Structure 1
Amino acid sequence: MRIGLVVDSACDLPLEYLQQHQVTVLPITVRIGEAVLADHRNEEATLEFLHAHVAEGGAEAETMPYTVQQIHQLFLERLVIDYDYVFCMTITKSRSPIFDNAQQAGFAILNDYKATRAAAGNNTPFALRVVDTQNLFAAQGITAVEAVRLRDAGEGAPKIRARLEHLALHTHGYLVPRDLYYLRARARKKGDRSVGLLSAALGSALDIKPVLHCNRGETGPVAKIKGFEAAVEKVFAGTIKRIRAGLLTPTVCLSYGGELDEMRHLPGYAELRAACAEHNIEVFESVMSLTGMVNVGKGALVVGFASEGGITFER
């Protein structure tokens, strides 16, 4: 059985990895004023757009994910021909309409695919499964990497489906933003009142940074730490503890809203890489998606992994 894999461009994995393993990307288009870029996970284009537009006008950006019609067209033009079963793994449906769009498109695709496959000389059935990763950005990469590993190991669709849905429940994403004013402005643009003006002002004045945690589609603060670098160091240290306790997959994903060399000089990074090497954990690093940066701001860090529990922060 030919198994295809699809992610949206908010999934923070290196483009080279996605291309090497033939993972299809559903691009999300970002508009800031007159500037428009379709995010195809091209890190150079993302960084150029970041420096030119995101820092000044990102809070007012519009993000436009693939519509039902665009997803339907992509599948019928290519995926139903190239594959027999496709897993489409999306950003958490609590934060984006991509999952619902893909679900709606999927119903139509299953009604329409037979003529397309027959014209390509294939009369066997086609199936697809839309998986809500229930997470964001770097943490979305956990399910995608596991799907690649299982497919390349020759596992069948039922086992892959069960594994991905189990992992989605146990994937943890941790985000440390740099600019609370930006985060608040962006939240207000989207109608999210979770970051109030007072908390943003106090946080910026005192240099207090929240650590945001995403699991099972729910996102909220789990710690408030003085200083961005100190917050990042605590997240890295907590990740090391989870690695030593045992992860559910041998994978840690990191993404950063800027040049990766900046991330690699953050405190605790070297210790995290050493712990991963010691425990045979593969580390994936990527520039944060354009969608991620316009939503959480330049210079934010995200760490993702799968484990039975998350990081415990001292009160």
Structure 2
Amino acid sequence: MEVKILADSACDLPLEFYKENNVALIPLKVLIDEDEFEDLRTIKPIEVYDSIRAGNHPKTSQPSQLEFRNAFVELAKNKQQGIYIAFTSELSGTYQTAVMIHDQVKEEYPDLDLTIIDTKCASLGVGLCVMEAARLAKNNASKEEIIQDVKFRSSHMEHLFTVEDLDYLAKGGRLSKASAFLGGLLNIKPLLNVENGKLVPIEKIRGKKKLLNRIIEVMKERGTNFESQVIGISHADDLTTANEMKEKFMQEFHPREVIITSVGAAIGSHTGPGTTAFFFLNKLPS
């Protein structure tokens, strides 16, 4: 029996991926006004972006404890090995809750064989790790081999992204208010990344064209062996920029593949519409 991969919706992979690759989905929750939704299952990203444009401020919460319990108990009853590849603990309590529920279920089902990995990654940074883990599981790799691969990729995953308005991240507590500087002023665009699971501004750049060119430069500085890896792009209702950057990546780096996904409803509630993010490895597995 192949190893079961579990992932939360903050990895920003489409619902079809979970179904087609037998990956268990743990959805985060999105709250708009008084209505609560399950990311991917009962709300689409575009609904969140449209709500923000209409002046609403969606909130998010971690998956329900029952969602975790049901998934973990099913794993135990099936006597199946599992790996839960989690969104960074620095931006959500999802990982900590999963560990707590794991310990509770383990008391009831001592044979539960589940490893929970805090990737310290976000969005498609987690997603690329999940994609490779699912591929390895399908090819009957051992649990230890998959864990080693996930830990390597997550520790060498680069995140570069920009947002239309830093205030969204500041309001959601994901970025310090001191860092939410000059958002929107004089066509200043922020370039940010993820360091040890936290959102950190890198620099401010005037104009979108200069920003996108700068992203190419930073990728050249940080990346390696692009021809042997998959580059990820996630976007919040900005497919035009995503496709433009895909073309640039193909010309500059000749990667094995470039995949484009939508920033999900949970992540998008904090980044706002117009976000584009880019993911790649600074070192490849040997």
| TM-score, scaled to structure 1 | 0.80
Letter of the 2:249 partner, please give it. Answer: L
Distance 1:100 1:194, change over 3 A: farther
Q: Which runs of 4+ in 1 moved over 4 A?
A: 240-243
> Who is 2:249 aligned against?
272
Instruction: Please give the residue correspondences for 1:166-245 in structure 2 after superposition, counting only pairs within 5 Å.
Output: 166-187=152-173, 192-196=176-180, 199=181, 202-239=182-219, 245=224
Distance 1:249 1:270, change over 3 A: closer
Instruction: Give the C-alpha shift of residue 275 in structure 1.
Output: 4.8
CA distance in 1, matches of 2:29, 2:104: 24
Instruction: Check whether the contact 2:189–2:207 (CA below 8 A) recurs between aligned residues.
Output: yes
Letter of the 2:261 partner, please give it. Answer: S
CA distance in 2, matches of 1:65, 1:87: 19
Instruction: Check whether the contact 1:249–1:306 (CA below 8 A) recurs between aligned residues.
Output: no
1:62 aligns with 2:59: yes
SS at match of 2:60: strand
Give 1:80's match in structure 2, choosing from 64, 76, 81. 76
CA distance in 1, matches of 2:166, 2:39: 24
> Who is 1:90 aligned against?
86
> Who is 2:234 aligned against?
255
Instruction: Give the C-alpha shift of residue 166 in structure 1.
Output: 2.1
CA distance in 2, matches of 1:75, 1:4: 11
SS at match of 1:25: strand
> Who is 1:122 aligned against?
none
1:306 aligns with 2:285: no
> Who is 2:257 aligned against?
282
> Who is 1:295 aligned against?
270
Name the larger-Rg structure. Answer: 1
Structure 1: gaps (5+ residues): 115-124, 310-315
CA distance in 1, matches of 2:242, 2:145: 36
Instruction: Give the C-alpha shift of residue 40 in structure 1.
Output: 1.9
Instruction: Check whether the contact 1:233–1:269 (CA below 8 A) recurs between aligned residues.
Output: no
CA distance in 1, matches of 2:71, 2:98: 11
CA distance in 2, matches of 1:6, 1:259: 28
Instruction: Check whether the contact 1:84–1:127 (CA below 8 A) recurs between aligned residues.
Output: yes
SS at match of 1:10: helix
Distance 1:8 1:66, change over 3 A: same
Instruction: Check whether the contact 1:248–1:308 (CA below 8 A) recurs between aligned residues.
Output: no
Instruction: Give the C-alpha shift of residue 263 in structure 1.
Output: 2.9
CA distance in 1, matches of 2:228, 2:107: 36
1:24-66 CA distance string (max 9 Å, x none): 1111111121343211268x83213422x122345x3221211
> Who is 1:32 aligned against?
32
CA distance in 1, matches of 2:41, 2:229: 23
Instruction: Give the C-alpha shift of residue 9 in structure 1.
Output: 0.7
Instruction: Check whether the contact 2:48–2:58 (CA below 8 A) recurs between aligned residues.
Output: no
Give 1:134's match in structure 2, choosing from 115, 120, 126. 120
Instruction: Give the C-alpha shift of residue 68 in structure 1.
Output: 3.1
CA distance in 2, matches of 1:83, 1:259: 43
SS at match of 1:155: coil
Distance 1:169 1:194, change over 3 A: farther
> Who is 2:6 aligned against?
6
Distance 1:239 1:19, change over 3 A: farther
> Who is 2:136 aligned against?
150
Count of aligned residue pairs for this structure pair: 284
1:111 aligns with 2:107: yes
Distance 1:194 1:140, change over 3 A: farther
CA distance in 2, matches of 1:258, 1:68: 31
Structure 2: gaps (5+ residues): none
